[in-house]
Structure 1
Amino acid sequence: MPVSASSSAPSTRSAPSFGLGHDSGVAVLDKASLLLSVLEDGPASVSRIVRVTGLTRPTAHRLALALQRLRLVTRDARGRFLLGPRLSEMAVVEHGDRMLALAGTVLTGLRDRTGASARLYRRCEDRLLCVAGAETSPNVAETVPVGTAFPMRSGPVAQVLLAWEEPDVLCRGLVGARFTATVLAGVRRRGWAQSTGERSSGSAALAAPVRGPGGRVVAALCLSGPVGLLTEEPAREFGSAVIDAALRLGEASDT
């Protein structure tokens, strides 16, 4: 008796059908693009990724882990995959010039309003870098020239730039730091960090996060000056002004 083709053919899983935007001609890139498109709708388990994309489970899991190592994908507390911080960082690079273009106006306005020096910092690997500033003092010893870098070991700027990082980055940043995870938890809860006497005796500083696309912290705005001006609790007097200025810069980076 002849055997039908349907009964003799081996059972195979059909390959995923790559739609518009997923056909680069390089199969592994197409699969990665397809996986990332699933995560645009929110966190997804491997099972959901398999169900939506048609990828095999080993392939989906292997790709997700590879993308996680590149920080294009991360995981939530339930182990689901979601879009990672690298995507926001790349968006910040694209839009960052707009923030810097506005920084001079915003920092100068904050300086004139408060009488204290206003500066903008970004994280550069394990250091914080001054990228813009409006100084009040002509004394070179009290100024921070644009381009000056400091270790991320102390101070409110370092705390703000580290407090909202991914847990593994945060843990590495605490090694050798003069602040603790408890301090950073307080920064996240309040939305700012302050200090007195850390850079020099009799000085005070207040820093707030500047948020870019996706709400990611992309910079820190810092107000600094003598304790006699800012007091030992600068946030009480100047918190609203600093946060408002940081929001303005964030809006510029998000457009």
Structure 2
Amino acid sequence: MENTSGVGVLDKATLILGSLEAGPSTLAGLVAATGLARPTAHRLAVALEHHRLVTRDTLGRFILGPRLAELSAAAGEDRLLAAAGPVLTHLRDVTGESAQLYRRQGEIRICVAAAERLSGLRDTVPVGIALPMKAGSAAQILLAWEEPERLHRGLQGAGFTATALSGVRRRGWAQSIGEREPGVASVAAPVRGPSNRVVAAVSVSGPIERLTRHPGAHLSQAVVNAADRLTEALRQP
């Protein structure tokens, strides 16, 4: 085994993850690629699956799991937050509404950055607040591109449907009217990491009386542009 750390089980687990970079693999394929004994390869692959570092495709083959993308996204958080300030300020200024950036943590979403409307009636979302993944345009964005099992689980008890999320994926943005809080509307769009996975959601929010019951019609382009700017920031070398 090359490049060993001296911690055998970690080295072997890394071998399995490394072999899956080439794509889906059966257990026999893992054994052939890593040189590990079949029982060892199976035990480690199942353990990695438990921690979502490995998962299975529709054919039951082992593939790299969603936890790796989440860790990769977290590693880029400083870059995301550094870029978020001016982007959210610009979004607030061009829309006249409060702007937020959300990241998912398990079954909740966290507001990690915000630019509040300077005056008048506003939707104030404090940085650091935890909100449910069951309502709101940002929740729709953070769930819409999830793997089928997590998407199905996330829809249970949600204020939106699978059909609504299909529309979100098609349009590239989401809107909500009174979903999270009565009288509040919002529009959100996805921020994607280098692997194209959705890692955050940018949104604007405010009272329905100002945003109307069709806020996406006049706000979606500005929100999508802001999300694209943050995506570009994460993809810079």
Q: How far 1:244 moved relative to its partner? A: 1.7
Aligned to 1:215: 196
Flag the 1:26–1:201 CA change in 2: closer, same or farther, 3 A. closer
Residue 114 of structure 1, aligned match among 72, 77, 95: 95
Say how many residue pairs are matched.
Answer: 236
* 2:43 is the counterpart of 1:62: yes
* Bigger Cα displacement from structure 2, 50-59 vs 207-216: 50-59
Structure 1 residues 62 and 189 mapped into 2: Cα distance closer, same or farther (>3 Å)? farther
The answer for unaligned runs of 5 or more in structure 2 is none
1:90-105 alignment, distance < 5 Å: 90-105=71-86
The 1:47/1:134 distance shift into structure 2, 3 A limit, reads same
User: Is 2:66 aligned against 1:85?
Assistant: yes
Deviations 1:11-50 (A, max 9, x none): xxxxxxx123xx1222222221111111112222222222
Letter in 2 for 1:212: G
Name 1:15's counterpart in structure 2: none
Q: In terms of Rg, which structure is larger?
A: 1
Secondary structure, aligned partner of 1:233: coil
1:139 to 1:200, Cα distance in 2 relative to 1, 3 A: farther
Structure 1 equivalent of residue 22 of structure 2: 41
Residue-by-residue CA offset, 1:96-132 (whole Å, 9 max, x unaligned): 0111111110011111112121111112332221111
* Structure 1 unaligned spans of 5+: 1-17
TM-score by length of 2: 0.89
Instruction: Check whether the contact 1:88–1:213 (CA below 8 A) recurs between aligned residues.
Output: no
- SS across alignment from 1:213: coil
The 8 Å contact of residues 123 and 184 in structure 2, kept in 1 or not, is answered as: no
Distance 1:71 1:197 in 2: 34
- Match for 2:176 among 169, 192, 195? 195
TM-score w.r.t. the length of structure 1 is 0.83
Alignment partner of 1:225: what SS? strand
For residue 136 of structure 2, what is the aligned residue in structure 1?
A: 155
Quick one: distance in 2 between partners of 1:28 and 1:239? Answer: 49
The residue type paired with residue 7 of structure 2 is V
Note the C-alpha offset of 1:62: 2.1
Q: Which portions of structure 1, spanning 4 or more consecutive aligned residues, are displaced by more than 4 angstroms?
A: 199-202
Query: 2 CA distance for matches of 1:206 and 1:96?
Result: 22
CA deviation after TM superposition for structure 1 residue 93, in Å: 1.9
Moved more, 230-239 or 24-33: 230-239
Distance 1:51 1:222 in 2: 47
CA distance in 1, matches of 2:21, 2:194: 14
